[in-house]
Amino acid sequence: MRILRNYILTEFFHSFLLSLVVFTFVLLVGNIIQLADLIINKGVGLISVLKLFFFLIPWLLSFTLPIAVLTAVILTFGRFSSDGELTAMKASGVSLYRISFPIMMLGIIFSFTAFFLNDQVSPNASFASRRVVKDIGIRNPTAYLEEGSFIRGFENYVIFIYEIRGNKLKNIRIYQPQEGKPTRTIVAEAGELNSFPKTNMIELKLFNGTSEEPSPTDPDTFYKLNFKNYNMTLDLSKVMKKENIQKKTREMTVNELTKEISKSVAQHIDPTPLYVEIYKKINMSAASFVLILMGIPLGITTHRSEKSIGFGLSLVFFALYWGLFLGGIALSLKGTVPPAVGVSLPNAIFFVFGVIMFLRTAKG
């Protein structure tokens, strides 16, 4: 049995390493062009660019690891099935459960490894990358405004933007915590951002929204002020200081996110995006095991050993998985469903279908 286990794992790792390199390289290509532009057109030193390249890899691996696992499983069991090796194993009294057990255990190991990558390595690498950007003097104030993240540090404001396209913003929430008083909230359907790098100022134009103002006579009640246009000026002087670099939501660990949730709740700020980020880390990590469970019966039923078939099939199913994942995140951010439900949706669906397909294949 040890010989069979080593044979299965060797076959899997050959396909896994190939898939990981291919998918990671594909995602790196676009970023390599941007990094080359820093050297050619902006005169940035090679060492700084290499640091940015190095810090980029962990973030890419959080995406390429699960898809590489799925591809490797499909290729491995597809070849076993097409070459008749799977039939020979079963004829020797080895069930699909025993054949799949080493790969399943490997999936659990990959999931724990992915959680460490997503919770510790990738966030810290992304944060370190921004520190390098600041060190080399590339100052783009709008880079601090990231969609789907709380942005703190702009005077007394906490800003959350659902969608950013260039300098055009959609669905904006601005909170102004006030000590001993209810938090002031400004909500706008759209906005526009104009930056003035020389003065470290940002002009934020808001359109079609409401501002919740505390009543001067009764601080515990609010009245709504509707507006078509609302202009704000934000000072970046403090934010641009190196020591004041603030972590974005995706650059925080689970422990940091938990502390941020407590702070947001105390300031009467909706912590939903922070919960979404926590469940993203958990579910992206669990994806490796879930996709292995789905990939085993897929590889067997396709009954093909061609790598092109395996790569194509894995891309289709991962695209479906990622579409459900993004949809669940969007529903969670809008408050339609709880984050635990919305973000976990693709894993739940793929797990159920994976179990059903695996059991049917094992009986066949």
Reduced to 3 states (helix: H, G, I; strand: E, B; else coil), residue 222 is: strand
∠ CA 15-17-23, nearest 5°, is 95
Whole-number Å distance between alpha carbons of 88 and 74: 19
Please give the radius of gyration of the chain, using alpha carbons only, rounded to the nearest integer.
Answer: 25
**What percent of the chain stands above pLDDT 90?**
37
| pLDDT value for 137 | 45
DSSP output for 149-217: SEEEEETTEEEEEEEEETTEEEEEEEEEEETTEEEEEEEEEEEEEEEETTTTEEEEEEEEEEEEEE-SS
pLDDT per position as a tens digit, 159-214: 888 888 877 899 999 988 877 677 888 999 999 988 776 666 778 899 999 988 77
Q: Quick one: DSSP state of residue 119?
A: I
pTM above 0.85, yes or no: no
The mean pLDDT of 211-235, rounded to a whole number, is: 79
Q: Which of 205-209, 273-277, 297-301, 336-340 has the lowest mean pLDDT?
A: 297-301
Amino acid present at 54: F
- Token pair belonging to 238: 């403090």
The mean pLDDT of 260-264, rounded to a whole number, is: 91
Answer whether residue 112 shows pLDDT above 60.
Answer: yes
The mean pLDDT of 245-266, rounded to a whole number, is: 88
Q: Which of 151-160, 170-179, 251-260 has the lowest mean pLDDT?
A: 151-160
Answer whether residue 108 shows pLDDT above 70.
Answer: yes
- Other beta carbons less than 10 A from residue 356's beta carbon: 11
